[in-house]
Structure 1
């Protein structure tokens, strides 16, 4: 079953021999919604490949406030954890399960060996770096150039895309935490977006119109 999941999510990027190696050497783990998968300052001995679910990648300021950087979807890996593993440094991000998620954890030594010996793995890693770099630039642009209501609307549309549904079950406080602002601000801006017919508000639910 584990190998079937790997084939389903990674066969387009990784060759059959490597998928067999991952199935043999990887550790398959399941995390519940809101579980911390990787924490800040954690020493990383494995890198994650996401098979099922979604993961939020967060940064934290010195006061403990979190900021959402990007989402991981099934078939992807976290390049920030790759960077830490390659440089044997501690994690600078927090990875949190957005929903129940299944991952395969690859030992660092295998990751490094495959990078040098397997072209499909090397290409997958380099493409992942490019995707995350583009998302980091987008996150910086959002912070620098977008008003909070625009950031909020974009966040909601991204959540809808990740969950494959126009209806999002989420609390105002959770949105505020992801966007590093207050619940009062989020509630006010959600009402503004509803008045502009961009969303419809329900009890702990938001529909993208």
Structure 2
């Protein structure tokens, strides 16, 4: 599908016609395989990715192999944090990494920054994303401080299902452990516990979620 048709299909009720035209003229439709990094830490932000399909992880990294998962991005979303860094001409302090196959629109950051003054709908889009993603960030902090590991895993799986609409999740225990900042052994042990409780069904590199959403 051509970019203009994708934009009209996905954003016709959200963006002004002039903004849709500008997005169509300067945007580049791209694809990314799982684990592909779209925006890296300690790098200048040259473009803003707007996700059309697939799931992207937003992660905080320290550049020394340590990091933590913050939240996901899904269809019609971009990272409010990345937009803020670009608006302030700062280098990125987060990583955007494809979790699944991803299709996205690449928009030059310098152009995007002018849209805050030109288009009311772009400001509303940013504020909506910022509110949602700030809530997710607070939830992540609360989970780290106050929530048991089994509850954290269930919430993590629910978030994936929220974006994919599919209750079968292709994922390794190691990847969950890395995102939730615990050992792989702890994840495997807790998933086994959840399986005995009828919450999940485990397969090799795949999890069926059987609980309530």
Gaps of 5+ in 1: none
Structure 1 length-normalised TM: 0.95
| Mapping 1:61-72, distance limit 5 Å | 61=62, 63-72=64-73
Alignment partners' CA distance in 1, 2:206 and 2:114: 46
1:145-181: per-residue Cα shift (whole Å, max 9, x none)?
1011110111112222222211111111111111111
Find runs of 4+ consecutive structure 1 residues off by over 6 angstroms: none
Contact 1:35 1:96 in 2 (8 A): yes
Contact 2:75 2:163 in 1 (8 A): no
Contact 2:41 2:63 in 1 (8 A): no
Alignment partners' CA distance in 1, 2:69 and 2:43: 18
Equivalent residue number for residue 139 of structure 2: 138
Alignment partners' CA distance in 1, 2:44 and 2:3: 26
1:180-209: per-residue Cα shift (whole Å, max 9, x none)?
111101000001111111111122211111
Alignment partners' CA distance in 2, 1:106 and 1:57: 18
Equivalent residue number for residue 12 of structure 1: 13
Contact 1:42 1:90 in 2 (8 A): yes
| Mapping 1:14-53, distance limit 5 Å | 14-53=15-54
Alignment partners' CA distance in 1, 2:26 and 2:160: 33
Of 84-93 and 103-112, deviating more is: 103-112
Q: How many pairs align?
A: 209
Alignment partners' CA distance in 2, 1:37 and 1:109: 17
Gaps of 5+ in 2: none
Alignment partners' CA distance in 2, 1:169 and 1:52: 16
Give, in angstroms, the shift of residue 80 of structure 1.
Answer: 1.1
Equivalent residue number for residue 111 of structure 1: 112
Give, in angstroms, the shift of residue 109 of structure 1.
Answer: 2.4
Equivalent residue number for residue 154 of structure 2: 153
Equivalent residue number for residue 56 of structure 2: 55
For the aligned residue pairs, the C-alpha RMSD in angstroms reads 1.3
Equivalent residue number for residue 3 of structure 1: 4
Structure 2 length-normalised TM: 0.93
Alignment partners' CA distance in 2, 1:72 and 1:129: 12
| Mapping 1:169-208, distance limit 5 Å | 169-208=170-209
Alignment partners' CA distance in 2, 1:7 and 1:53: 19
Equivalent residue number for residue 82 of structure 2: 81
